[in-house]
Every structure is written in C-alpha cells, then in structure tokens.
Homo-oligomer: A and B are copies of this chain.
Amino acid sequence: MPALDKLKALIAPAKLLTDDSSLAAYGKDWSGQFTPAPLAVALPKTIEQVQAIVRWAIEQGVALVPSGGRTGLSGAAVAANGELVVAFDAMNQIIDFNPYERRVVCQPGVVTAQLQQFAQDNALYYPVDFASSGSSQIGGNISTNAGGIKVIRYGLTRQWVSGLKVVSGTGELLDLNQGLIKNATGYDLRQLFIGAEGTLGFIVEASMQLSRAPQNLTALVLAVTDLDCIMPLLHSFQSKLDLTAFEFFSEQALEKILARGDVPAPFETRCPFYALLEFEALNEDISNQALSLFEQALENGWVADGVISQSTQQLANLWKLREYISETLSHFSPYKNDLSVTVSRVPDFLRDIDQLVQQNYPDFAVIWYGHIGDGNLHLNILKPDNLSKEAFFSKCHEVNKQVFETVQRYQGSISAEHGVGLVKRSGLNYSRSPAEINAMKAIKAVFDPHGIMNPGKIF
C-alpha cells in the first residue's frame, strides 16, 4: 500500500507494524466488545514523528486512534474501522525531574506505576492510583482524567497536570501552560485536552506534579449496619481526619472475595455494607482520634464491627478486600456501570437502582462497590448460570436505559471515571445537554478540522 510505505519512510526509524497479531493487540482495549481492524500501528519515538503522522493522515484522509496501555473500559482506544493506531509505547521516558517544583516531565507512554515508582524513589508520591496502574499510561490517564481510589484526598489526574504538549488535528504542536502553577492568560486549553479521549489531539508530553509521600497510612474497615448510616459516618470521620480514601463494597462483594480463599476476612460480623477508610496516622493523637470516632460510630449504631490495620501487611490485606473485587467479578461476566451522583444522594440513588433491577430481573444479582466518598458507584450485574451471555447482555441493555434515566433524574454522570469512548456514546445525552454536546462538537472542529483524531469516540 503506497500510503503506508510513505508513512513508513516518514517516521523511520520508528516502527510501523502491520502483522495480524499486532493489529489484533493494538486495535482493542479492555472493553472487549469490538472487533479490532486497524490499518496499521505506528510507534513514534519523537514529537516530530507524531506531527508527521498527523500531517500524513490529513493528506491521506486516514483516521487516527491513540493507544496507551489500552486498559480503558469504554472503547476509546478501539480501532475497528481501518484507523491507524498511534501507540505511545516507544515514548516511555521520564525526561526531566525538578525536586524543588516536585515536577516530572513525562513522555505519554510512561506507565502509571513507573511514575509512582519514580516518585517513591525520590521520596515523593504520585497519588493517582487504580487497579490498572501497572499497565495504563500517563497519556491515557490524562485523556480520561483518571480517578481511582485516592480522589477524596488528592483529586483526579487533572489536578496533577501542570503542563501539556499536544499535537492537534492540524499537526500543530501546542505547548500548554509549561508547568506553571499560576497562569491567568485566557482560556486554559490544557483543561480541554484532559479527559478528551484523544478526540482533540494527542498528548505527546506532560508535566506531572508530585506530592509529599504519605506517612504511616492506616486503614479501617467497618461493617455498616444500614445504607443510611454511610453518610453520617463519612461526615463524622471527615470532619476530624483528612481521609485519603473512603471506599465501600456490599456484603455480596465481600462474599465473592472471601470465596477466593486467599484474602482473610476482616471480622466475623456480617453487615449489608462495608466501608474502607484510610488516613495518615502521623502521630498518636490522630490514631486515637480515629479510634474514638470508631467507638462513636459503634455507639450510634452506624457500624457493628471494625478493624484497624497495625502494619503495612495488614494495610495491604485490608485493601485487597476492595481492590480484588473488579478482577474477582470478571469471572461472572458482569454487566458493568460506572456511575456518579453528588455524594449525599448516593443512598437514595443506590436504592432506586436496586429496586429497578429487582423489579425487572428478580433473579439478577446486583453487586455494588466503589468510591463512595466521591459519589462514584460501580454497579455490577452478574449473569445467572441459567442464562446465555447474549440473552443476559440483551436484558441488561434493556434495563440500562432505565438506569441512565435514573442517573439523569439525579443529575449524575453515566461515566464517573471510565470515559465515554464507543461504549457510552449513545448515553451521553443523559449527562450532557444538547447545547453542551453541540458546543463539544464545535470545539472538536476547532482543534480537529479534518475529523481525523479518534473520530466516533465520545459523540
């Protein structure tokens, strides 16, 4: 194919892959619902090569799909329509570090865990963390504004990006905010590219800020007697302690985890919900404060039992109760949703969704877990044994419309942290108004006038 030969020459010595196994691997993400069919896979090593690829794509009328760790669950990195995949695996270096500024300049293919490790090696901390941090790349994190388990204290990826270099859909390089903390010179275009899923341009370099490393992290797992006790519990702890996490999971989730056999039970008591709180036990005062809050929670009847970590090993074990859920449930062909509402509305929302699924499909098991301190709930509906995968997913699709209508009624988000991609595109209107969607499309046209940057994703 002459167009590909031309591209190969343009980006040489960077690689251009066209073998079947590369196409299959690079054309999909963890959503797993789309058949990969990319034209080829380019692995640029420099910003100039990325620019050359974009100019080639404009000339040839070929669409581009950016590719990081492909750990996304929404199909944003899927190439199913003859697109050229632009994979950032070969741009995976940390190219600068300034300890005074706690700022790391990363290429987009730096793996999240690599940045976390780099921070740790420098007695600092990169606080955005989630289950796929061992594979996901910084470019992808930024493009989805990744959240995870420490948002209640450290915010989303957005908060840690102090500069972005992006190649827009015209092939131009934009150098946005250059690592500045304060810069009040007009619209902060950097913010637009964060969470844009590569539809406006590709991130080719990022300045990431680091934080002081947390000390003596300590977890409490509490057995919560009733859904309505979660909010006063959160309020009570949050008013006295700087929580680094406030996660939750349901009894059904705990059952599945304990059935694995490799995670110890936190305690004998069983309750409908469990909360995992984490804080820095910087000194004895803080630890005592946490214990007295726990005792108060017991007295108030909000919790029936609890355990506090006394070592890093115990801390790790308690976290397994929460962190192993996603992988454990994956064996039950779950129908997943990643929803959010404002924090105080979580109990009502959760009850409404439970009722909805129960009414429609009384034999479907619903498993809840998530980042309740951020209002972010992962809803998992498990396939009953007697139903085929196809029949199950088709029924779930039916109830999903009502789930999204409920989200809309609560003014919530149909995608709290997983992005929109292809999977949630048809649901975008439940969380964004027609005027907003029109504005987004017009903004896309500003940065991507040829419509070649990850087209068909988000909207």
Contact = CB atoms under 8 A, between A and B. Distances in A.
A147 B212 contact: no
B375 A343 contact: no
Contacts of A99: 235
A98 B428 CA distance: 27
A21 B12 CA distance: 69
A230 to B, nearest CB: 10
Contacts of A231: 100
A431 B424 CA distance: 38
B238 A180 contact: no
B182 A374 contact: yes
A151 interface: yes
A180 B168 CA distance: 29
Interface stretch (A44-52, A53-61, A438-446): A438-446
Contacts of A103: 342
Contact of A375 (B174, B181, B344, B439): B181
Given A234-B100, A342-B103, A185 B431 contact: yes
Contacts of A172: 435
A353 interface: no
Interface residues of A, number: 84
A436 B176 contact: yes
Most chain B C-beta atoms within 10 Å of own C-beta, residue among A184, A340, A411 = A184
A179 B231 CA distance: 17
Contacts of A176: 436
Interface in A407-442: 411-420, 424, 428, 431-433, 435-437, 439-440, 442
Interface stretch (A2-10, A28-36, A191-199, A321-329): A191-199
A108 B262 CA distance: 54
Contact of A151 (B98, B101, B144, B182): B182
Nearest to A437: B186
Contact of A420 (B158, B185, B235): B185
Given A182-B156, A212-B238, A344 B192 contact: no
A191 B283 CA distance: 38
A187 B187 CA distance: 14
Contact of A184 (B168, B212, B413): B413
B195 A435 contact: no
A182 B147 contact: yes
Nearest to A200: B187
A159 to B, nearest CB: 7
Contact of A428 (B186, B200, B282): B186
Contacts of A442: 446
B195 A188 contact: yes
A342 B180 contact: yes
Contact of A344 (B98, B242, B376): B98
A63 to B, nearest CB: 19
A182 B417 contact: yes
A234 B100 CA distance: 8
A181 B440 contact: no
A114 interface: no
B155 A185 contact: no
A145 interface: yes
Contacts of A200: 187
Contacts of A188: 145, 158, 191-192, 194-195
A239 interface: yes
13 contacts: A100-B234, A151-B181, A180-B412, A180-B413, A182-B374, A183-B416, A184-B413, A184-B416, A185-B420, A187-B192, A189-B439, A212-B242, A283-B283
Q: What are the 9 tightest A-B residue pairs by CB atom distance, in nearest-first order?
A: A191-B191, A182-B416, A183-B413, A181-B374, A100-B344, A442-B446, A178-B411, A185-B431, A182-B376
Given A181-B342, A212-B238, 20 more contacts: A158-B188, A174-B435, A174-B439, A178-B412, A179-B411, A181-B374, A181-B376, A183-B431, A184-B415, A184-B419, A185-B428, A185-B432, A187-B192, A187-B440, A188-B191, A191-B191, A191-B192, A192-B192, A212-B242, A439-B446
